[in-house]
A = this chain, B = another copy of it.
Amino acid sequence: MTGSEASISEILARLVAVTSFDDVAAHAHEGKRSILNFLATALGSSADPAVAMAMATLAPLGGPPACSVIGRDERLDLLGAAFVNAVSANLLDFDDTHLETIIHPAAPVAAAALALAETHGCSGRDVLTAFILGVDVECRIGSAVSPGHYARGWHITSTCGVFGAAAASGKLLGLPAEKITHALGIAASQSAGLVENLPSAAKNVSVGNAARNGIFAALLAQNGYEAAPRSIEGPLGWARAMGDVLDLERLIRGLGRDWEIAANTYKPYPAGIVFHSVIDGCLKLRTRLAIDAVESVTVSGSPLLLARGDREVRNERDARVSIHHCAAVALLIGAAGVSEFSQDAVFRPDIVAFRKKVRAELDLALPDGASRVIIRLKSGEEFGETVVAARGSLSDPLSDADLEAKLRAALRQSGSPWNGECIIAAVWRLDELADMSSLLRHPRPAVAARGAR
């Protein structure tokens, strides 16, 4: 790339600046599905101690509580609310997944966009447009550095999410392309987050920061802060420092015509996406045999599956990225919902014992996301199941009704006082909402309904 060509930040910023709702209207429904799924997972985790701890840390330091914390009565300032809502949406790894990159696109972008929409009185169309653009920016940058980026230890939802949040925020603030360019460059200097920290609360910090710092980048750019022109692709810029060689062709392929939101997927199970085929395989096998007769379970998969999932299980976070736990609950209980990854399930003696029967094995012939489960009975008999496209993947997507059910189940799980039916109805007519904040400000059940819960 010569000095006279547009930089990556400029190319992406121009897209963000010029794109209108009409340009992305064909993808508005997928945007709504993503936002519904985001709200479902944020509601589901809204009572989690990790959310409460983050709020306890931020509330005394924060400014005017102008923004909703999803599922809760307390409110926080703009940056604090964006942080906490991204944390809760991503907490259980139950949010959406862009399969090419394993980015969870909505948590950083929707958390930033919804908080800004509340303080700036944006319409539902504004939010949908900004959200789709933010997802496009984060997933395009992520695709250009995949699969090496994640494999090297970068938590790609955090490291690329900050670009998406900056893009969406710049759009909602109505910044011109030049200032969005700077916002993306400022985002590059805030890009952080480690895979090593995934089984700990430190993961939440980088995901929350991605949303918070994306808004911060856009506000700084609005107020006059600038970034180096080639902060992403320059010789001492983001990609080189991160250890990546950018696939520029992938980054700009179909820009403004093809939208990454179309490749978004939603999870039926609150486990790492690569474990979904393991769960599917086990659920299928379960109907064919008596669990008491199982001697051993062998799960084969790609290096990604084994690198992430062949681990000791000491807590709920481990369980959600454990081959052994996913196989155990699917086979023993026949389900893999939020309850099956709770602390009770992690330490339930029969599950602990069954996890020990599960062995992980590398199979280089299997693509990422696929797995083969072979169950050997004490009799010596063997049963096998290979799943390449898991439920919830692009070729077997969750339906709108599945997503609604997921939100209702999340509300029951968390005990949040928010009104699920009101939220579901508002999301489906998001493009008609004049003021987005109406979605978040009054989602309480009527008193009678509340008493009836």
Provide the bound-state CA to CA distance between A158 and B202, in Å.
Answer: 18
- Name the B residues within 8 Å of A78 (CB-CB): 61
- Check A53/B225 contact, CB under 8 A, given A235-B196, A236-B153: yes
**Residues A209 and B235 in contact in the complex (CB < 8 Å), given A49-B224, A230-B196:** no
B-side contacts of A195, CB under 8 Å: 236, 241
User: Do A205 and B228 touch (CB < 8 A)?
Assistant: no
Residues of B within 8 A of A57 (CB): 216, 219-220, 223, 225
Question: What residue in chain B is nearest A162 (Cβ atoms)?
Answer: B192
Give bound CA distance, A203 to B56, whole Å: 30
Spot the interface stretch: A93-101, A183-191, A256-264. A183-191
Q: State A202–B184 Cα separation when bound (angstroms).
A: 10
Determine the residue in chain B with the shortest Cβ distance to A83: B216
In the complex, chain A residues 52-74 whose Cβ is within 8 Å of any chain B Cβ: 53-54, 56-57, 60-63
Q: How far is the CA of A152 from the CA of B234 in the complex (A)?
A: 11
A225 to B206, CA, bound (A): 13
Partner of A154, one of B198, B225, B241: B241
In this assembly, does A194 line the interface, its C-beta being within 8 Å of a C-beta of chain B?
A: yes
Distance in Å from the Cβ of A88 to the closest Cβ of chain B? 14
| Residues in chain B near residue A235, CB distance under 8 A | 153, 196
The 7 closest A-B CB pairs, nearest first, are A153-B241, A196-B237, A202-B227, A153-B236, A195-B236, A192-B192, A196-B234
A307 to B197 CA separation, bound complex (whole angstroms): 34
Residue from B63, B182, B204, B230 within 8 A of A63 (CB atoms):
B63
Partner of A202, one of B79, B204, B226, B242: B226
CB distance from A138 to the nearest CB of B (A): 16
Select from chain B the residue with minimum beta-carbon distance to A61. Answer: B63
Closest to A50 in B: B225
Nearest CB of B to A115, in Å: 11
Q: Which residues of B contact A163 (CB under 8 A)?
A: none
- Report the count of interface residues on A (CB-CB < 8 A): 64
Contact in complex: A193, B197 (CB < 8 Å): no
Q: How far is the CA of A238 from the CA of B192 in the complex (A)?
A: 10
Task: Indicate with 1 or 0, residue by residue over A275-308, a CB within 8 angstroms of chain B CB atoms.
Answer: 0000000000000000000000000000000010
Q: How far is the CB of A317 from chain B (nearest CB, A)?
A: 10
Counted per complex, copies of this chain come to 2
A77 interface hit (Cβ, 8 Å): yes
Q: Which of the residues B49, B196, B205, B220 comes within 8 Å of A217, measured between beta carbons? A: B205
A196 CB, nearest partner CB in chain B, Å: 4
**What's the nearest-Cβ distance from chain B to residue A93, in Å?**
15
Contact with B along A75-90 (1 / 0, CB 8 A): 0011100000000000
Partner of A189 from the list B197, B225, B227 (CB cut-off 8 Å) is B197
B219 touching A190, Cβ below 8 Å: no
Which A236-256 residues sit within 8 Å CB-CB of chain B? 236-238, 240-243
A200 within 8 A of B: yes
A201 within 8 Å of B (CB atoms): yes
Could you tell me the distance in whole angstroms from the C-beta of A1 to the nearest C-beta in chain B? 14
Given A61-B63, A201-B227, 12 additional A-B pairs, CB 8 A: A60-B63, A63-B63, A154-B241, A188-B196, A189-B206, A195-B241, A196-B231, A196-B236, A196-B238, A197-B237, A205-B217, A236-B307
A60 to B66: give the CA distance in the assembly, Å: 11
Q: Nearest-CB distance from A91 to chain B (Å)? A: 12
A50, A195, A241 — which one has the most chain B CB atoms within 10 A of its CB? A241
Closest to A77 in B: B61
Q: How far is the CB of A208 from chain B (nearest CB, A)?
A: 10
CA distance A45 to B201 in the complex (A): 37
> How many angstroms between the C-alpha atoms of A191 and B242 in the bound complex?
12
- Docked-complex contact B217 and A190, CB < 8 angstroms: no
Once A185-B202, A189-B203 are accepted as A-B contacts, the answer to whether A53 and B194 lie under 8 Å apart by CB is: no
